[in-house]
Structures are given as structure tokens and as C-alpha cells.
Chain A
């Protein structure tokens, strides 16, 4: 399925050299905005907007039927790790099922695994994993176990490919701080409050 790309600056989902960038057409029914302002265009099957930690509703009003074909997306990436094959598609109240279906088909034909979620803070993955990383970092501070033992427990006991501490550190504690700060502002629950290690890393200027 063909798509055009409108890009300004570097995309978190598709870093320079990513095959998805090379696969873009000159004209198509699907427009993918990577950092460019979103303009309503009802002639398109779908207008896709790359998201970071913001809401899709930060870009377009989510109660205006003129935006029924606007779909948000983010390719999941653990901080500075290479992007994963997962694309989270974000729908709003006014988003049409047809626009979501077009966006899904386009990303799937480009080789991604696609899930659909509502326009809520953290989408699926950050919403679920950030509180877990926060708990693991707090446990480390409290002396529950060493980082290595916590990671080993998750790998051997749950079959994870890596443990929570090694993963959150690899992705960048500064990045974790940024994500949790945004989530905490939205949800207000202690589970999302940036933990000591992440705050300190951020204040030291680490990514």
C-alpha cells in the first residue's frame, strides 16, 4: 500500500536509513506526518500523525468530524534502543473505522505488527511498563535485591529476554524520567512518579 511522507526533523519511529522512509511514494491516499503540522484533508483515506509522548488530541481537536481520518501512531522504542517492529495506532472518538483499517493495512504491508489503542497517556506500552520499571528502580534503592538478581529473576522466572533494570538503563534513565513525568502529569498516581535514579540521571544531563 502506498503512502507519502511529510517530514520535518528526525523521526523516532523511522530513523535515517529506515526502509519505511525509502518505501514512500510521490502521491498516495495515505499521508504520514513525521514532525510536520497536520492539515485536515478529507480526500485522503488516512492522515497519520507520528506521536511521541503527547496525545493525538494535541495535534487536532478530537471532537471534530473533519478529523475522522486522522490516526496517530508511534513505533515502540525503548529510549535509544533501535525501534521495535510494533506500531501502536491511536484513535480518537471521531476516528473512523475505515481510516484505522487503512492505516493498519499500510503498516502491516510495510512489515510491522500493528495494535490499536485509544488516545490515552502512554498508549499501551509506556502505560504498562513504566510503573514496572519504577517499581524495579525503587526496589533497587530499597535493597530488595541487586540489579543483576532482579534481572536474572525476570529472565529465568518469566522468560523475558532482558530484565527491567538492564532495559530501563539501556533505554536511558533520562528518557525514562521524561516519559514518567508526562505520564505522572496525566494520571497523577504515585506509580508513574519519576523515581530517584531517573530524576538524578536527568538532572545530571543524561539522556
Chain B
């Protein structure tokens, strides 16, 4: 275990990503303080962690004693003061610059000087988030993938002022957790979303342009390239509203026309076609037929 990092805090640990990151850290043997402003979300996250590790026992990946030990390493609190002993705090709170900046400012007051702050932001600038605290040299981008407890990839990006030592310490920590870090820059979407969001928009534009229907586009991509999912199936899974949010986060910063939200996407969201979660997007999940068919 890292000499420097022993106790890890996760902010927004009641949320989708935070709960997964907390599992990653606890599984690797770190003491984890799970912090969230929503008590009910934390309670739900505890249940989810217990169920997750319960499955690990059923599958023979860990013993019941190991499960009990890992659960005992996960502490929960709605008091930010509980993060006072953390060597690393990873934030996975709402994707709003003001919320993240305010949180880092508050963490500054609570955590010791050596504490590293990691941000799981998908769309915001690490440097801009780091400007919310007095230790921008100790802030690192640590972008986990959904679901964090299963996906190995972490896109790591230094902000403009991040020190090399801090970046290396955070990098080494992700390796210790059994993750696979990749180094990228503090640019919109890092690598994954910078490639994916415009590509998904292009697939929507191909429908708009009458090139082919959604099912043909997805089939072509899966058969021709060996992808597990076509872009339109993927958008249905992540939510059409999320695809709009991602486009709106990137386009004003990059001015890349491919990142601009396609009009068809807006029309579909306005019509309540959000994808799987609403029962219909590019496909209809009642009959699994294709949109527009």
C-alpha cells in the first residue's frame, strides 16, 4: 500500500460514480470515508456495496471474512469534517463547476495540507475546478468509467498547476487499486468523450441526412468494426438527454461542429424519447422496434 495514501475520501459517494469509486478503494485495502450531502443516497450506497461484495463472495472472488473486512473499511458521513484524516479525496458530485469549486474550497479548510484532491469530472476543466481551492498544485483529474467498480480505465489529467509529484502519487494509487490509468490533458472530454460524443452525434446526423436508419447504422458499426454496441444503441443506453448535455458542454468550448447537438436529438428529447429509461429512443423497448419504423 502507498506510504503516502492510506485513507481515501469520496465526495458524492451516494451517487452512481462515487459509490463505485468507494468500492474500488475499499476493495484495494484503503480506509474509505464516504461523504455525501444526501443521507438517503448514502444509505442506498451502503446497501449497494453490501450487495456487490455479497456477489463477489457468491462468485468465489472473496471470502465472507474478506467481505466483512472490506465493508468495515467503508465509513459513511454527511459531515464534511469526517474527511479530515484523508490523504486523497476524490470528488464525484454534481457536474457543475460552481458546486465542485465550492466543495474544493470547503475541503481546503477541512483537510491537511498534504491531501490530494481528485476530480471525476467528465466535461469540466480540472484547472478551472482547481481554482476553487488554495492548493491547485494538488488537484488531479481522475476520470473513472461507469460502472467504476467494474471498469478498469481511469483517464488522468494534470491541471495547469498540478505538480508532477502529486500527479504521480495519484497515478500510483490508481495502479494500486488495480485500475489502468492513462495520461491525458486537461481538455474537454479528455480522450474517451472527446472521441465518442462527436461520433455519436455523427451517427444521429447520418439518420437526419437519410443515409440509413438506426438499426442499419448500428449493424454496420458492429459487424464492420467489431464494436459490441452501435452508437444509437449506446445513446439510448446513456440517455438522449445526457447526449445533449455532453454536446452542450463541449461545443461552446471546442467549437467543433461535430460536437454540436444535432436538431433531431433535441426534437426527440422534446418528444420525451430519452432512450431506454423512457422506453423509447432510437429503438422502442416495448417491442424493440426501431424509431420511425
Residue of B nearest to A121 (CB): B211
Assembly CA distance A153 to B224 (angstroms): 20
Residue of A nearest to B191 (CB): A153
The total of interchain contacts (Cβ-Cβ below 8 angstroms) comes to 135
Assembly CA distance A123 to B257 (angstroms): 20
Are B217 and A128 in touch, CB under 8 angstroms? yes
Given A144-B185, A191-B258, do A153 and B153 touch, yes or no (CB 8 Å)?
yes
Assembly CA distance A160 to B203 (angstroms): 17
**B residues in contact with A190, CB < 8 Å:** 257
Given A153-B191, A154-B195, A156-B153, do A128 and B227 touch, yes or no (CB 8 Å)?
no
B145 to chain A, nearest CB (A): 5
A112 to chain B, nearest CB (A): 9
Are B211 and A86 in touch, CB under 8 angstroms? no
**Interface size range of chain A in the complex:** 35 or more
Task: Give the B-binding residues of A (Cβ under 8 A).
Answer: 76, 84-86, 88, 113, 115-118, 120, 123-125, 127-129, 131-132, 135-136, 139, 143-146, 149-150, 152-154, 156-162, 164, 167, 189-191
Quick check: is B72 within 8 A (CB to CB) of the other chain?
Answer: no
B253 to chain A, nearest CB (A): 14
B184 to chain A, nearest CB (A): 5
**B residues in contact with A124, CB < 8 Å:** 206, 211-212, 216-217, 220-221
A160 to chain B, nearest CB (A): 6
Are A116 and B191 in touch, CB under 8 angstroms? no
Are A76 and B211 in touch, CB under 8 angstroms? no
Assembly CA distance A85 to B225 (angstroms): 10
Pick from B152, B185, B258: contact of A143, CB below 8 A.
B185
Q: Nearest 10 A-B pairs (CB), nearest first? A: A149-B182, A156-B153, A115-B216, A117-B212, A86-B223, A76-B224, A161-B226, A86-B224, A124-B220, A153-B191
Are B153 and A118 in touch, CB under 8 angstroms? no
Are B210 and A88 in touch, CB under 8 angstroms? no
**A residues in contact with B228, CB < 8 Å:** 159
Are B184 and A144 in touch, CB under 8 angstroms? yes
Quick check: is B180 within 8 A (CB to CB) of the other chain?
Answer: yes
Quick check: is B155 within 8 A (CB to CB) of the other chain?
Answer: yes
Residue of B nearest to A114 (CB): B219
**B residues in contact with A145, CB < 8 Å:** 182-185, 191
Are B226 and A139 in touch, CB under 8 angstroms? no
**A residues in contact with B227, CB < 8 Å:** 158-161
**A residues in contact with B202, CB < 8 Å:** 127-128, 131-132, 191
11 new A-B contacts, CB < 8 A, other than A117-B216, A124-B217, A191-B198, are A125-B220, A135-B198, A135-B258, A144-B191, A144-B194, A152-B153, A153-B195, A154-B191, A157-B151, A160-B226, A190-B257
Pick from A86, A120, A149, A161: contact of B184, CB below 8 A.
A149
Assembly CA distance A117 to B211 (angstroms): 5
Are A120 and B211 in touch, CB under 8 angstroms? yes
Are A157 and B185 in touch, CB under 8 angstroms? no
Quick check: is B192 within 8 A (CB to CB) of the other chain?
Answer: yes
**A residues in contact with B155, CB < 8 Å:** 153, 157
**B residues in contact with A146, CB < 8 Å:** 183
Mind listing 29 A-B residue pairs with CB under 8 Å? A84-B223, A84-B225, A85-B223, A113-B219, A115-B219, A117-B212, A117-B220, A123-B211, A124-B221, A125-B220, A125-B224, A125-B225, A127-B202, A128-B199, A132-B198, A132-B202, A143-B185, A144-B185, A149-B182, A149-B183, A149-B184, A153-B153, A153-B192, A154-B192, A154-B195, A157-B192, A159-B229, A160-B225, A161-B227
